[in-house]
Amino acid sequence: MTKGAYIINQLSDKPPQRKSKERLWAVLISCSVAAFGPFSFGYCMGYSSAAVTQLGNPNRTDVLLDKNGIRLFGSILNIGAMIGGPLGGWVIDFFGRKLALMITALPFSAGWLMIGFGSNEVLLHAGRFLSGLGVGMASLIVPNYISETSPGRLRGAFGAFNQIGIVVGILSSYIIGHALSWRWSAIAGVGPPACMFVLMFFMPETARWLLAHLKEERAYKTLRWLRGKYAEIENEIVEIKDSLNIKEKMSIKEFTKPSFLRPFMISMTLHFFQQSTGINAVMFYCATIFENAGFQDNSTMVSILIGIIQLVAAVVSILLIDRGGRRFLLLIGGVGMCVSCFSMGFYFFVTINSVPDTEIAYGGPDISWVAVTSIAVYIVGFAMAWGPCTWLIMSEIFPVKAKGVASGIATFFNWFCSFLVTLSFDVLIDGLTIAGTFWFFGSLAFLAVLFVYFYVPETKGKSLEEIQMYFEGEEQEGKDLDEISVTETKL
């Protein structure tokens, strides 16, 4: 794009014209197939909630795990994901986004088969590690595939498919875990990655990766199929080429430049707060939390109800993420998570921690509804905001040349934080009490809200090229992202 065309577009009072003959069904199909990745991700996350209650009960399993074994079973998934994140970053750059998703199906399937047919604790943990490898790869690859496939004006809505896939996977694992044994639940987990492997064969590679690897003819065919036979895709092709020509190669020196360092630090900090506010600890131990809250006989059914609430919240995010924006959802969701963590801490303080180290039981009115309501509000805030927006912003703010490396580091850091939170959850409860642990998570949620308010720019309605131009030129021009506008092919 020429400098003159850019200036004229900025001075124009007319909004960009929407193209006729839009084709969204092709994007919908591509994103839906890719969503089998986060579905498998979510199934892994929710599986341990019901499985550990069986694996720790000698009357319900032939492979008994003690307390340390159960803790490792929950946390080793994160170790695999820490490795899977950087591995996925290398795979998407070398093999492409499409083939990378097909490769991701392999560790998922192998891991579930090892758990389903494992005869000892070592095989169960090894299978859980392989599943984690797939989780780490999928958590990086899918958001990037969706963001590069979707039209800019609907990238947020399609990006929410990632979170919907996760919550549907979690809900499915709760339902199947309630109906089947832990072995059959694991075997059922092979289905989604197998479907993804087969169906992705018929899906397109992203135009950005193809153009970055000088495969222009295939890039034109990809955009023609995605955008429609009569859509004007030339402008989108030109914008992608321009963004690729800014810097042809990614080097370690890029990390010292403010134009790259700022989006990198924004993404890393969002990942930190996404995990440090306790979401994976809540999901891994959802059934246990409700048992402690007094739902010993129906803890798994309550988890299913929470899964349904989570799904509804993720669907709502589709409607809001491209209207209210990413910042708005992160702020609202963060406030909800903060309040719910403090109220959850209040519940456990009143019912458990107010009389520590004694056998005196709480004798006041039944306030167990506080536990259910607080967890529900927390999960709504996360599923509607911090779940989808953290991964979506990561896929938006890194330039194409840096996506593999930067996204790999950010994903590793995300799962490293998840590993620490999951492994230390019981330790925090022992040291701070369960009430203090939730107050700690609530305090971090409050800091997350402050960070978003002061440092995270709004990216809704902007093309990936516009966002890259903002970070490339902000030091020289001092512009906000809302002030930058680049002609974009909008269907």
Helix, strand or coil, per DSSP, at residue 462: coil
- Distance, in Å, from the CA atom of 24 to the CA atom of 461, rounded to the nearest integer, reads 16
Domain residue ranges in the chain: 23-203, 254-354+365-473
pLDDT tens, position by position, 351-378: 775 545 545 555 566 677 777 788 888 8
> Are 129 and 76 contacting, i.e. CB atoms less than 8 angstroms apart?
yes
Among the ranges 140-144, 195-199, 294-298, 353-357, which has the highest mean pLDDT value?
Answer: 195-199
The secondary structure of residue 456, as a DSSP letter, is P
For 122-150, b/e burial (b = at least 16 CB within 10 A) is eebbbbbbbbbbbbbbbbbbbbbbbbbbb
According to the model, what pLDDT value does residue 7 have?
Answer: 35
Mean pLDDT within 245-273: 75
- Distance, in Å, from the CA atom of 250 to the CA atom of 252, rounded to the nearest integer, reads 7
- Distance, in Å, from the CA atom of 195 to the CA atom of 343, rounded to the nearest integer, reads 41
- Distance, in Å, from the CA atom of 380 to the CA atom of 339, rounded to the nearest integer, reads 12
The secondary structure of residue 248, as a DSSP letter, is S
Domain 254-354+365-473 is of which CATH architecture? Up-down Bundle (1.20)
> Are 329 and 384 contacting, i.e. CB atoms less than 8 angstroms apart?
yes
* 23-203 CATH, one of 2.130.10.10, 1.10.10.10, 3.30.70.260, 1.20.1250.20: 1.20.1250.20
Same fold, 23-203 and 254-354+365-473: yes
Residue predicted with more confidence, 222 or 22: 222
* Closest to 409 measured CA to CA, from 260, 278, 247, 283: 260
According to the model, what pLDDT value does residue 489 have?
Answer: 32
> Reduced to 3 DSSP states, what percent helix, strand and coil does the chain have, rounded to the nearest 5?
80, 0, 20
Residue 226: pLDDT over 50: yes
Percent of the chain topping pLDDT 70: 79
Count of CA atoms in the C-beta half-sphere (13 A) of 37:
32
Residue 335's Cβ-count burial label (10 Å; 0-12, 13-18, 19+) is middle
Look at 89-98, 166-175, 368-377, 378-387 and tell me which has the smallest mean pLDDT: 368-377
> Are 84 and 133 contacting, i.e. CB atoms less than 8 angstroms apart?
yes
- Distance, in Å, from the CA atom of 396 to the CA atom of 438, rounded to the nearest integer, reads 32
Q: How confident is the model at residue 255 (pLDDT cuts 50, 70, 90)?
A: low
- Distance, in Å, from the CA atom of 477 to the CA atom of 487, rounded to the nearest integer, reads 19
pLDDT tens, position by position, 19-50: 445 678 888 999 999 999 999 999 998 888 77
> Are 111 and 131 contacting, i.e. CB atoms less than 8 angstroms apart?
yes
